[in-house]
Amino acid sequence: MKINGVHYRTIWAEADGRVAIIDQTQLPHRFTIQTLKTLDDAATAICDMQVRGAPLIGATAAYGVCLALRQDSSDDHLAHAITQLAATRPTAINLRWALEQMRHALQNCPPAQRVDQAYQRAAALCEDDVAVCAAIGQYGLELIQGIAARKPAGQPVNILTHCNAGWLATVDWGTATAPIYQAHEAGIPIHVWVDETRPRNQGAALTAFELGHHGVNHTLIVDNAGGHLMQHGLVDLCIVGTDRTTASGDVANKIGTYLKALAAKDNGVPFYVALPSTTIDWTLDDGVRDIPIEQRAAEEVLWVNGQTADGSLTSVQIAPDITPAANYGFDVTPARLISGLITERGIATASRAGLQSLFPKPTTVDQPASY
């Protein structure tokens, strides 16, 4: 996608093997490219959320293995790198998937050839991600076209999204935003309600940033506004992303997604989840019981980052010094609340039968997602 008319991906390898990322902790106020040189740099970028979003976490981990092997291409160091990267964030399954892809490609490769092989594999994972997100966009576009056709001519389709499942969360296009961008390109009038997404404000900082740069009409709302908007007929469709979806269609996504799905159900608003098949955890069934939910530092709840009137970046404390805070990063929306799963192979019902109808052979390390 474009920033000031220039096309960017969220991650790429430089000619000298170092890895470039857009530092998302600086957005929307500073557009900063950061260079990762070592395994530790890659692990820190994921932990500190300079890169975030399930598919981009996976892509960064794949390049983290490349950086590790540049330092030491032995079997032991390969195993160490995979263990270190796998521990960075617990909920997004794409992280584990990408690391298993890398292990599979590299474990029987002679150490002298590993570095080249690793960069090729990481680049292929990124290309796959772009193609998969574009395909999700095409299927989601059909959904939006159907809604647009039922609205009075010229009236925008109002889409609510939570967190950032945009191009900043993937290599390009995004998952939840891919249908939005494709509808916008197709000339369908679109308006997006952007949940701010406390505590880290991925909606305010990232989704608003990328929609704005792409010229998509949007409005930022506080996290609790969605139910009110749905009661008043101001939301035609919800589309969100996911960090892990079980084989039975339960969806883990950014904290607060479940409450939006409940409000959507109560108001008859269709609630869709956009995902690459690499986000499906075929080993799990009951998402509420089995998906690990990341808990992050209390400071993210107690402090808010922003820009002052003079343009400097700062943090301010918003609760008393003695207040304890809990910071659950994700929640699980049960399949019964989900209208459909928009994948690279089409839209499935949120159920085992629905997913299996599109993916009769579950995605494995031997058989990466195809589209």
Binding site for ligand MRU (CB under 6 A): 52-55, 92, 163, 165, 169-170, 175, 202, 241-243, 253-254, 329
Identify the three-state secondary structure at position 278: helix
Residue whose CB is nearest to ligand MRU in the complex, by number: 241
Identity of the residue, 166 or 354, whose beta carbon is nearer to ligand MRU in the bound complex:
166
Least distance CB 160 / ligand MRU (angstroms)? 13
| Closest distance of CB 100 from ligand MRU, Å | 18
Residue recorded with tokens 């970028």: 45
Strands, DSSP E only, in the chain? 2-3, 6-7, 11-13, 19-22, 33-36, 157-161, 190-195, 218-221, 237-240, 244-246, 251-254, 271-274, 280-281, 303-307, 313-317, 330-333, 340-343, 346-348
Largest CA distance in the chain: 63
CB of residue 57 to ligand MRU, shortest distance in Å: 6
**CB atoms inside a 10 Å sphere around CB 331:** 19
How near is the Cβ of 299 to ligand MRU at its closest, in Å?
15
Between 287 and 329, CB nearer to ligand MRU: 329
Q: How far is the CB of 323 from ligand MRU (least distance, A)?
A: 23
Nearer to ligand MRU, 105 or 239 (CB): 239
Is 236 marked active-site?
no
Min. distance of Cβ 234 from ligand MRU in angstroms?
Answer: 22
Sequence-ordered alpha helix ranges (H) in 216-298: 226-231, 257-267, 287-290
Alpha carbon distance 296, 133 (integer Å) = 28
- For residue 190, CA distances in Å to 57, 99, 153 come to 29, 37, 12
Residue 12 pairs with which residues in a beta bridge?
20
Measured from the CB atom, the residue of 96 and 254 that comes closer to ligand MRU is: 254
Residue type, 45: A
The C-alpha atoms of residue 5 and residue 2 are separated, in whole angstroms, by 5
> Which two tokens mark 187?
């000339």
Q: Cβ closer to ligand MRU: 100 or 294?
A: 294
For ligand MRU, the closer CB: 47 or 149 = 47
Task: Give the shortest CB-90-to-ligand MRU separation in angstroms.
Answer: 11
Q: How far is CA 267 from CA 6, 20, 226, 283, in A?
A: 41, 44, 11, 33
Q: Which candidate in 243, 250, 281, 331 is catalytic?
A: 243
CA distance linking residue 229 with residue 263, whole number of Å: 10
Report the residue number, 118 or 273, with the smaller CB distance to ligand MRU: 273
d(CA 185, CA 214): 10
Q: Which residues are catalytic?
A: 243
